[in-house]
Structure 1
Amino acid sequence: MSHPIIRPARADEYDEIARVWMESWVSTGLAEASNFLLANLRARVRREIEDGWTLYVADDNGTIAAMLALHLPKLYLDQLFVAPAYQGQSLGRELLAFTRVQMPDEIELRCVRENEKAWRWYEREGFVFENEEISPVTGFTMKCYRWRRQPAE
């Protein structure tokens, strides 16, 4: 595999992005793949872009290896999902570094409480737990995190 390039997503890729999102979400063990889930994610990608998402992909020579959804005005990392075939190769860390370039001073995110692998990773990456809340979109209990740039010494 070559090294994926992070770039803005194109509208003609939204369905494939939703498929990668579903496969990555299913890999957490918190959901099962289904046509219903895929249809919901496809609709959600379009709706969230209308509501302010800036959507990026990690492109591996035409294969979408990951998706990253940011809400830049809110300093919010909304979604970061790496396709199962690309997990464990530091692509998530590269996407997070890219996010820190886009939002260099502060980033907020939420992570499903049961997705322990993800929230522990964010904690290792310097995010600080703030509180829990129920997602009005999914109904999941979400752990809320924030990262702030440390002032120079």
Structure 2
Amino acid sequence: MPHPIIRPARAEEHDEIGRVWMESWVSTGLAEASDFLLANLRARIRREIENGWSLFVADDNGTIAAMLALHLPKLYLDMLFVAPAYQGQSLGRRLLTFTRTQLPDEICLRCVRENEKAWRWYEREGFVLEKEEIEPSNGFVMKYYRWRRQRPGA
């Protein structure tokens, strides 16, 4: 079976991307699925694209397997969520490799402190913790990370 293809998201896919985002977020144990959460995430996709997101999906023959949101001018990996049915299959690593083609020298991101599986993975992938802060909009403590390309001889 071929791997999902990473490609730019299409506007008509935004609702489905919101569903994948919600299901992945719920799989962390930090939220419960609801129509309210789904509506908020769907609205946020549109708002964030207007604010500079480059939105990509992992497309598995028409099924959205994952979403990746980058803010290229800010060197920011904003969202990387893999649908539960695709977790544990190295799709996250493929999305991170793709991110490094878009942001080859430096990547910043943040992760909810309670999502230990995610931040430990980012640390294994070479990201360095810079600070922790409370996010006023949701009350979560966020861990801020940065990755920089290692220069030969540096």
Q: Normalised by the size of structure 2, how large is the TM-score? A: 0.97
Identity among equivalent positions (%) equals 84
**Counterpart for residue 10 of structure 1:** 10
**Counterpart for residue 133 of structure 1:** 133
Deviates more, 1:129-138 or 1:70-79: 129-138
Alignment pair present for 1:44 and 2:38: no
Map 1:24-103 to 2 at 5 A: 24-103=24-103
Distance between the aligned counterparts of 1:136 and 1:79, measured in 2? 18
3-state SS in 2 of match to 1:93: helix
Distance between the aligned counterparts of 2:108 and 2:147, measured in 1? 6
> What's the CA shift for 1:137?
3.5
Residue identity in the other structure for 2:73: P
**Counterpart for residue 142 of structure 1:** 142
Q: Which runs of 5+ in 2 are unaligned?
A: none
What does the per-residue CA deviation read over 1:82-113, in whole Å, with 9 as the maximum and x for residues that have no partner?
Answer: 00000000000000000000000000000000
**Counterpart for residue 111 of structure 2:** 111
> What's the CA shift for 1:10?
0.2
What does the per-residue CA deviation read over 1:48-76, in whole Å, with 9 as the maximum and x for residues that have no partner?
Answer: 00000000000000000000000000000
What does the per-residue CA deviation read over 1:115-144, in whole Å, with 9 as the maximum and x for residues that have no partner?
Answer: 000000000000000001122443311000
3-state SS in 2 of match to 1:32: coil
Distance between the aligned counterparts of 1:30 and 1:85, measured in 2? 18
Residue identity in the other structure for 1:27: S
> What's the CA shift for 1:31?
0.4
Call closer, same or farther: CA 1:135–1:79 in 2, change over 3 Å.
same
3-state SS in 2 of match to 1:95: helix
Q: Which runs of 5+ in 1 are unaligned?
A: none
Distance between the aligned counterparts of 1:137 and 1:91, measured in 2? 29
Residue identity in the other structure for 1:33: A
3-state SS in 1 of match to 2:69: strand
Call closer, same or farther: CA 1:58–1:41 in 2, change over 3 Å.
same
Q: Which runs of 4+ in 1 moved over 4 A?
A: none
3-state SS in 2 of match to 1:85: helix
